[in-house]
């Protein structure tokens, strides 16, 4: 599909980490239904991203695919430029790409910590920076939503490299909200902090039950719950600098 048509006024969204069938892919499909043109980013899941793009295009949504390892600064900047060139603008950025590795504290290495910070923190910052400065140039501005994690408030064991990298997301979100709005008040930055919205398929039954019982709503969430929150934050133009838990009450409840 020709992505460069100037007559198409539908907004454009870039979603990082949207190839694999996880939260980012659900966000992409939700934004397609809401009328967005899409730029899907993937690293190892490019084939899945291409399949999603073909499926969405068959239903009338213009979609492009970009690919890179977000831990490589130069390739990230080139990816953002490619995403902007695809449609000439970006109205929404959703940072879903992330790495998380379970490992005991005794086994965590400096490389483990660096990798988590490079993808979860630095890449989120750089995407916000480069896409945000593009939004600053646009009369209509734009909106950014970062994905954090509710459990930075009460970390659980064996993710010592992961949680510090996600703990930076609320501060990063507030800081970029201030920086970008000072340049164009129509640019907003918010975050969603998911709870147990997509538990691993191989999670032992007892651990799954424990995670569900630890919520107030007594059920597992879904990627759609997160995607709906993302769409709300993209649409509500009087909300910025907010970190919204979507966790079934998990962050306020300690059973």
Domains and CATH numbers, the chain: 12-252 (3.40.50.720)
Residue 159 annotated to the active site:
no
Which stretches of the chain score pLDDT less than 70?
Answer: 1-7
Biggest alpha carbon distance in the chain? 57
In sequence order, the 6+-apart residues with CB closer than 8 A to the CB of 76 are 68, 70, 123, 126, 127, 130
Out of 36, 159, 162, 253, the active site residue is 162
Residue 5's pLDDT is 47
Residue 1's pLDDT is 38
The burial class, CB within 10 Å (0-12 / 13-18 / 19+), for 8 is middle
Single pTM value for the model:
0.94
> Which DSSP string do the residues of 36-48 spell out, in sequence order?
-EEEEEESTTHHH
């Amino acid at each position: 599909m020709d992505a460069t048509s100037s007559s198409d006024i539908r907004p454009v969204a870039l979603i990082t980490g949207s190839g694999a069938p996880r939260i980012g892919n659900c966000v992409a499909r939700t934004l397609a239904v809401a009328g967005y043109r899409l730029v899907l980013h993937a690293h190892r899941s490019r084939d899945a991203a291409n399949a999603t793009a073909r499926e969405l295009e068959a239903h009338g949504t213009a979609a492009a695919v970009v690919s890179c390892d977000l831990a490589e600064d130069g390739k990230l900047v080139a990816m953002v430029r490619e995403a902007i060139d695809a449609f000439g603008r970006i109205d929404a950025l959703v940072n879903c790409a992330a790495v998380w590795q379970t490992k005991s504290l005794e086994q965590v290495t400096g490389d483990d910590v660096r990798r988590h910070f490079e993808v979860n923190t630095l890449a989120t910052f750089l995407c916000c920076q480069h896409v945000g400065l593009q939004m600053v140039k646009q009369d209509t501005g734009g909106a950014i939503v970062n994905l954090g994690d509710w459990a930075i408030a009460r970390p659980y064991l064996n993710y010592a490299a992961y949680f510090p990298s996600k703990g930076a997301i609320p501060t990063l979100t507030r800081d970029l909200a201030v920086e970008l709005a000072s340049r164009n008040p129509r640019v907003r930055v918010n975050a969603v902090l998911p709870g147990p919205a997509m538990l691993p398929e191989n999670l032992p039954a007892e651990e799954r039950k424990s995670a569900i019982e630890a919520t107030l709503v007594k059920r597992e969430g879904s990627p759609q719950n997160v995607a709906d929150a993302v769409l709300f934050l993209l649409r509500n133009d009087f909300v910025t600098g907010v970190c919204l838990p979507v966790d079934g009450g998990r962050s306020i409840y300690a059973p």
